[in-house]
Structures are given as C-alpha cells and as structure tokens.
Amino acid sequence: MTSQTSVSRINVMKPWLGETETAAVSEVIASGWVAQGPKTAAFERAFAEHQKAQYAVATSNCTTALQLALIVAGVKTGDDVVVPSFSFIATANAPTYLGARPVFADVEELTGNVTAKTVAAVLTDKTTAIIVVDQGGMPLDLRPLRNLCDERGIAMVEDAACGAGSTYRGAPVGVGADVSAWSFHPRKLLTTGEGGMLTTNNEQWANRARRLREHAMDVSAAERHGSTLAPQESYGEVGYNFRMTDLQAAVGLVQLGKLDAMVQRRRELAGRYREAFQGIAGLRCVRDPEHGTSNFQSFWVEVLPDFPMSREQLLEKLATDEISARRGIMAAHQQPAYAGHSGQISSLPVTERLTANTLILPIYHELAEHEQDRVIASVLNAGGE
C-alpha cells in the first residue's frame, strides 16, 4: 500500500521522560552508589507522603511487591486468596507463588473492578486475603469490601499497579487497604523502567517487607555502608532479592514530581474522547465512578452489539489507519496457566464479556490533540459517521 502523505504511527502508550530524568541518573552514576541506597530511601519517603501512607518499601516491580504484601499479611500455602480474573496475570500469580490458591471473583461493568458482592460469592473457609485491583486506574469501591474483610477477619491487599494519581472519596487510592502494591512499569503513568512499591500503615509489616526484599538481612546495606566496622548481619528467614536500584529511584523522584501534571493531561484527553464518542451508538466509554476519580492509565471502550463493527474489526480498522490500540484487560482464568484450575468455582459473565469486547485507545501525556483527533476520526468512521 502506498500513500501520498505518510502518517506516523500513533502508539497506545509512551512514557513521559526527558532531560531531568537523564540528569538525575547521571548524578547517581557520578555518586558511585547505583544499587539500593539513599535515592531509594528518598523515593520511598516522597512516595509515602504523596500517597498518604505511613510506610513505603521500594521493590523491583509490582509483582514482587504483591508477593511481599501477601507474605506480610500472613498468607500461607493452602490458603485461598480471592482475586479478579479480569486483571493482568501477575495479580493471580502472586498468591500462586506462595502455594496459595487464587479464587477468581467477577467484576462489575462500570469500573471493571470486584465488588463486595462478587467477592462474597466466592469466599471459602480458607480465604485469608483478597487482592482488589484499581483496574486501568479506575478506583474500586473500597468501603463495602473493607467492611466485608473486617467482618471476616480477612486481609485486604490492593493491587494499585495502575493507580498512582487516582482517588477514592477524595483520598489517594491504596490508603484504605491493609497493604498496597504499585507498579512503575512504562505502561503505567509514573515509570522507573521496572520498579514497584509496597505501602502500608503497619510498621511491623513494613519492616518485615523491607528485610524480605533484601535477603531478609537484619542490617541493611545502607547501615553497613555507614559504619567502618560493619555490624555482623543475620538472616532470620528466607528472603528475596526484590530491590530497586538508586538509578531507578532517581528517575522515580523526578517522575513523582510530574505525576499530577500527567493525571491532569490524561483526564483532559479522556474527556475529549468521551465527548467525541457521545453520539455513537454501540460504544461505551469508561468514565469516573461516583466514588472517585481515575488517572486514566487506560482509556477503554466497550464495543456493543449495535456498533457496526466487532471489536476485532475495529482494532483492524485502527491499525490500517496507523493507530495502535490494544485488546482490553485479559482474563486470567482463560489462560493456559490457569486451565483446569480449581480456583474458578463460579462463572464470570461480566469478566468474559468485558475481556471479549473492550479495547484500549492511545492515551499518554505527550499525545497531541491533532493525533488524538486522528484516533477519534478513525473510530467515528468505523461507527458509520
């Protein structure tokens, strides 16, 4: 296919990185301390303050933060942990690593998140924790779930991988859970390349997570560095190497300072999409629920039966117009990794509908309005306008 004017492809996502991040990394390299050290500690303090958490523990990624969160919350081999199937597969993998069984709960259609009702339907007498997700940055309705967990003595872990900058009832998401996990993968808003964070208000849990991510050593590298005659360390349990590097943390500090601007820009772009698609029959756009505000980490639309094209056809149409879109959130229970898995004890109709019929449109900080207009034109054209 040849065209007169070549159009550049629009990506579904692009991190917002620049010279400030480059300078911050250079400074760390010049300092000679590139592994977990003072920058990581500074990033933890800044992140805890921004997210209104008492403690923050940086990790290598969100998946390892989730694993640590479940460990400190007391999840053991043989336990049941309720998770949404409608999530990136890491949510289900975290309990699996511990020998616990992920039990899949369905989600509600507006936010793509679990509710007290869908979770209550799958609780067993072995359930010791639930992982709730703010899917695509959409805040979950935490209070009814909090009540359910408190009544049953179940720990609530929040997979807030996509949630930095989203709010629930006026506060940052994550504060209402017992322990929360965050991702700094470039697919999210704030990025450190790879990276994650655990936040909690429980001092003992934070201290244990801090040791576990560093081989369960009782003397940190920073403490050893600070002394000439290093104290003798000991290892109280089997730990992990889930550390973040100071190279990453330096980038994270710069990115954290840009987070509010990122959220504001994404909300503007999401508003433009919603307005443009208002009149199209058969297209349902994600929007803020009554209980909070989204950072629009993802902007997804559901292709309903009265839209002139199927979801796959719309993806093809966008690709022809040099626009990268993506199928919506996956369903873990449909993956070979969980085939024949005993955790799926109920049907998941909303999960299956959303995963089959949703798609994610380009949204990122530096998406120009003329580029977004190309996406809008392509979708309107597909919708018969």
Ligand X SMILES: *Cc1c(COP(=O)(O)O)cnc(C)c1O
| Sites of contact with ligand X (CB under 6 A) | 61-63, 87-88, 90-91, 133, 159, 161-162, 183, 185, 196
Q: Which is nearer to ligand X, 90 or 189 (CB)?
A: 90
Q: How far is CA 72 from the centre of its chain?
A: 20
E strands, 225-382, where? 283-285, 292-293, 299-303, 326-327, 358-361
CB-based contact 98:131 (threshold 8 Å)? no
Q: Give the containing element (helix H, strand E) for 352.
A: helix 349-357
* Interatomic CA distance for residues 202 and 167, integer angstroms: 21
Quote the least distance from Cβ 158 to ligand X, whole Å. Answer: 10
CB of 94 within 8 A of CB of 131? yes
Q: Is 188 a catalytic residue?
A: yes
From the list 117, 126, 188, 258, the catalytic residue is 188
Q: For residues 315 and 123, what is the distance between their CA atoms, to the nearest angstrom? A: 37
**What is the token pair recorded at 83?**
């998770």
Q: Are 270 and 363 in contact (CB under 8 A)?
A: yes
Residues 6+ apart with CB under 8 A from 319: 325
Closest separation in Å from C-beta 205 to ligand X: 19
Write the DSSP assignment of 138-161 as a string of letters.
PPP-HHHHHHHHHHHT-EEEEE-T
Tokens coding 172: 């940052």
Least separation in angstroms between residue 62's CB and ligand X is 3
Comparison of 40 and 378: residue with beta carbon closer to ligand X: 40
Helix (H, G, I), strand (E, B) or coil at 5: coil
* Smallest gap from residue 312 Cβ to ligand X (A): 23
Quote the CA–CA distance of 356 and 13 in Å, as a whole number.
21
- DSSP annotation string for 258-270: HHHHHHHHHHHHH
Shortest separation between residue 181's beta carbon and ligand X, angstroms: 7
The secondary element (H helix, E strand) that includes residue 57 is strand 55-59
For residue 360, the minimal CB distance to ligand X (Å) is: 12
CB of residue 377 to ligand X, shortest distance in Å:
29
Four-CA torsion 34, 38, 42, 47, nearest 10 degrees:
50
Nearest to ligand X of 59, 372 (CB atom): 59
Closest distance between ligand X and the C-beta of residue 162, in Å?
5
Residue 262: what residue type? Answer: M
Q: How remote is the C-alpha of 143 from its chain's centroid? A: 20
Looking at beta carbons only, is 180 or 372 nearer to ligand X? 180
Q: Which is nearer to ligand X, 13 or 103 (CB)?
A: 13
Residue among 196 and 362 whose Cβ is closer to ligand X: 196
Q: CA 337 to CA 81: how far, in whole Å?
A: 17
User: Which CB atom, from 90 or from 331, has the smaller least distance to ligand X?
Assistant: 90
94 or 103, CB closer to ligand X? Answer: 94
Taking a C-beta distance cutoff of 8 angstroms, is the pair 197, 44 a contact? Answer: yes
Amino acid sitting at position 174? G
Q: Which positions are annotated as active-site residues?
A: 188
